[in-house]
Amino acid sequence: MSVLVRLPRSDYRGDAFENVITSGFDLGMARAMAWLSQLAYEDDERKILSVGRDWGLEPIAIFKPLVKSVLPIARTRGLVMCGHGARFVTFCGTDPLVFADWITDLDFALNEQGVHRGFGSAHAAAWPTVSKALEDPQATPVLFGGHSLGGALAVLAAWAAGEELGLAPSATYTFGMPRVGAAQFARKFNQAQGRRTYRLVYGADIVPTVPPPGLAFRHIGRMLPCRRGEHFHPEQLSDDLNDAPAFCEEAAADLRLSFSENAELASDRAAGFSLVLPGPISDHLPRSYCGAFS
């Protein structure tokens, strides 16, 4: 993972899990899950454990299984942590410098479950570890979360928890999540968990616009948008289970051009990344989501 998705230890907020509520939508919990999704990107296990202790969390599992996938990823990473009377399962996505390649390529296929084939493969690699970690005999609430591809994996894990383990998640929070599957999957998921699945979208983040609805993909859950430079507000949470934001073919074409011109420069500079990366990618960074909470 590059500097675009990792943070210095000192940048992690020690108060990220203060005054969180595990049931229904809670802005404090959304903030906590954004930070926990950011932590899932870290490579250093000692750093993960240290930050977790600051947040009052203990690890149940830290995983990074190999993935056989059409996506340009070798592993998917995630955490299962417990604390504050709940269990938390979070997944990281891919590095945005890699993620932008397949966004602009638009090479998507569905598996037999009506789920994006690459997301399904990544979920299959992680699920044995996650399901074992959820075999806690104590019936504490379970929340799922993730950024980018990690949001898609959080949705698939939440679905599997209900279907295979009979475990109803208290909530699922996703950040910059792409569409996970086709209309038939979205319909089944929304009937079971849609009202307690919260899909946060920051600024002009292009990832939530893909895969395009024209390829039969549909979003799940309730969307909470936030304008660039502003903060998320709970009153903007949609009451309906909509398919926004729409895909813009022109934006994808512009992104391809801008990214090809600036990606090498961005990858070489830890500072000033937002001045180099195109807006649809800089808005997608996990730190952009963490920074959008007051």
User: What are the structural domains of the chain?
Assistant: 9-290 (3.40.50.1820)
Write out pLDDT tens, residues 57-71. 999 999 987 666 655
Please, what is the average pLDDT of the chain?
87
Q: What is the pLDDT of residue 255?
A: 59
pLDDT beneath 70: ranges in the chain: 1, 66-75, 96-107, 137-138, 249-276
* d(C-alpha 90, C-alpha 133), whole Å: 12
| Element (DSSP H or E) covering residue 156 | helix 149-165
Distances, alpha carbon 153 to alpha carbons 84, 246, 257, in Å: 23, 21, 29
Write out pLDDT tens, residues 40-49. 999 999 999 9
Per DSSP, the residues of 73-129 read: -SB--EEEEEETTEEEEEE----HHHHHHHHHHT---B-TTSBBHHHHHHHHHHHHH
Q: Please check whether residue 34 is in contact with residue 173, taking contact to mean a CB–CB distance below 8 angstroms.
A: yes
Q: What is the pLDDT of residue 242?
A: 94
pTM over 0.85: yes
Write out pLDDT tens, residues 208-254. 998 888 788 999 999 999 999 999 999 999 999 999 998 876 666 65
